[in-house]
Structure 1
Amino acid sequence: MQALIPFPEIDPAIFTLPLFGMEFSLRWYALAYIAGIIAGWRMGVALSGKARLWPGNEVPMSREKADDMLTWIVLGIILGGRLGYVLFYKPGYYLENPGDILRLWDGGMAFHGGLLGVIIGVWIFCARNAINKMNIADLLAVCVPPGLFFGRIANFINAELYGRPTDVAWGVKFPSMCFDPVAQGCAVAGQWFYTGAEVARHPSQLYEAGLEGLLLGVIVLVMALRGSFKVPGLTVGVFFLGYGVSRFIVEFYRLADDQFITADNPAGYVMRLGEWGITKGQQLSLPMVALGIALIAYALIRRRRAAVA
């Protein structure tokens, strides 16, 4: 019999307080967002204040502007993340139940949507304050990975977004659900049920925490400290490329979202070519890879032209 690593039974709620006949909880997922935002903000303030790291040895913005920008970033994360989940993953459900869009406490945030929200918010902020947008994009590329790391750890604690079944030695038995389109092992065809089956799964949340959070975070931070900010667009290009490639790889081990799984599509592909296909996460990551490559090429070409001139 295969050895399984038992899932650590950590309560998703750190603590719960009963108030006025209702229960209010502080959850690890919320704490992950808070920790990621604070860590990114502190890194951003520290790096933006070091003139030697920036083109012309001039800081991109004042400490006061950095604090003001935080508000736009938080709004971009929350609004973009939620709307991205609604539009990218469950548009049909929320079209029929628009009131549930506001139920953030039920979960449902998309990184790609949050990223778009931050880009739009920061773009508006920079335009209104005459701040170089590419410099800020490079700065944010270094500040995002801590949030990715904490967020994926919270996903693991919540036993959500876990991986596909596996026989690797580090497979984890999550308190998982069972989906069977033809009712083999489940009560009703085409529905999800909690199951006590001894199924080992890839801890794909930890794979993402390691790749998108730790590895990518170290790469862009080391680049910044070694002068990559002086080549506008290079750092953010590496971030987009690194995240896109990391997420694309992890999707091979991550269980697809249930709304994409059907009897004839058990892998949950959204685009198929015969037996092969790509998941929704891979589909959304491909534009990031392309954008990353384009930004890196743009940055290096501009540097070469500047050197020649």
Structure 2
Amino acid sequence: MSTGLPFPDVSPELFSISLFRIEFALRWYALAYIAGILIGWRIAVAAVKRVTLWPADTPPMRPEQVEELLTWVILGIILGGRLGFVMFYQPGYYLANPGQILAIWQGGMSFHGGLIGVIVAALIYCLRAGIPLRPTADMMAMATPPGLFLGRVANFINAELWGRPSDLPWGVQFPGEAAQACGQAVGEICARHPSQLYEALLEGLLLGAVLLWLAFRRGALKTPGKIVGLFIGGYGAARFFVEFFRQPDAQFVSVGNPLGLAWQIGGYGLTMGQLLSIPMILVGLYLWTSARTK
């Protein structure tokens, strides 16, 4: 007997057109990136226009500088996200096939790599323009969750990054041979945790709502570092938790390691996502506590 909910009949593509025998398609995932960046940009502009939110009633930059920073952020997301995926998840494959490293149209992006790319890009821009770092980081942190929410919803629509097998009522019957290969009896359908939606709710909706409430209603931007500390630590904690329900990447799964642990001792260990989240939790705690102390 099958369990769980059937996967919704939603195409990963909004539409596609053919020009000169070449197929062009607009995918939900690309639209999620575009919409997330635009929403984050408008949140950042709205924040810097409200001067009373900032220390000494002085925003870290002007609205037009937010637009300049946006260009650097986009480059950081794309380059960092792709290189992070290459280094963290499939280094062996890409060392053997270096021509595939920049083939982002084939999929494969890492949030942790994208975060590092954005940090480096923002750091370069701020140092060149003489812009204070912590207030800028706070502004960027509270503008990020909408993009995370939309990106995880797009992952769900793409039927990718699904969770471990589940017999809960809200388990989803994801399509595809890989999703259905979970050791169930012949004739039964495998249902899995919709871990993409877990992340969308925790990292995007909940964390984003808390950050905006603290920034616009509780004066948290007056204490530089508090918002970015909560974002980094909150994301790390949410991702660490969801990893218990998320199916690990195939390259980490083997007969002797069915849970896909990237590090283990005596059968207990952590996934790659959890290993990458621990530094985020620690950095977030440091930024939060140092902001409060200051």
Same fold (TM over 0.5): yes
- Whether 1:17 and 2:17 are equivalent positions in the alignment is yes
Q: Structure 2: give runs of 5+ residues left out of the alignment.
A: none
Give CA deviations for 1:193-227 in whole Å, capped at 9, x if unaligned. Answer: xx985001000000000000000000111110121
Residue 219 of structure 1 aligns with which residue? 210
Asked whether the equivalents of residues 48 and 61 of structure 2 are also in contact (C-alpha less than 8 Å), the reply is yes
SS at match of 1:239: helix
**Structure 1: how far apart are the matches of 2:273 and 2:290?**
26
Q: Structure 1 residue 26 and structure 2 residue 26: aligned?
A: yes
2:86 maps to what in 1? 86
Alignment-derived partner of residue 246 in structure 1: 238
State the distance in 2 between where 1:218 and 1:200 align: 30
Q: Which residue of structure 2 aligns with residue 290 of structure 1?
A: 282
CA displacement at 1:180 relative to structure 2: 11
SS at match of 2:101: helix
In 2, the alpha carbon distance for the partners of 1:296 and 1:59 equals 20
Kindly indicate whether residue 120 of structure 2 is the aligned counterpart of residue 129 of structure 1: no
Q: Which runs of 5+ in 1 are unaligned?
A: 186-194, 303-309
Q: TM-score, normalised by structure 1?
A: 0.91
Instruction: Tell me what 1:36 maps to.
Output: 36
Report the alpha carbon displacement of residue 22 of structure 1 after superposing the two structures with TM. Answer: 1.1
Taking only the aligned residue pairs, the percentage that are identical comes to 54
State whether residues 3 and 189 of structure 2, in contact with CA within 8 Å, keep that contact through their aligned partners in structure 1: no
Distance 1:184 1:236, change over 3 A: closer
Letter in 2 for 1:254: R
On the 8 A contact 2:180/2:190 being kept in 1, the answer is: no
Please name the residue that 1:232 is paired with.
224
Q: CA RMSD in A?
A: 1.8
Preserved CA contact (<8 Å) 2:4 2:168 = no
Aligned twin of 2:72: 72
State the 1:176 CA deviation. Answer: 3.6
Counterpart pick for 1:279 among 265, 271, 276: 271
TM-score normalized by structure 2?
Answer: 0.96
Secondary structure at 1:35 match in 2: helix
Change (3 A) 1:179 1:221: closer
Runs of 4+ in 1 over 4 A off after TM superposition: none
Q: Which residue of 1 aligns with 2:117?
A: 117
What SS does the aligned partner of 1:23 have? strand
2:139 aligns with: 139
Paired positions, count: 292
Q: 2:198 corresponds to which residue?
A: 207
Residue matched to 2:102: 102
Aligned to 1:169: 169
Distance 1:196 1:243 in 2: 39
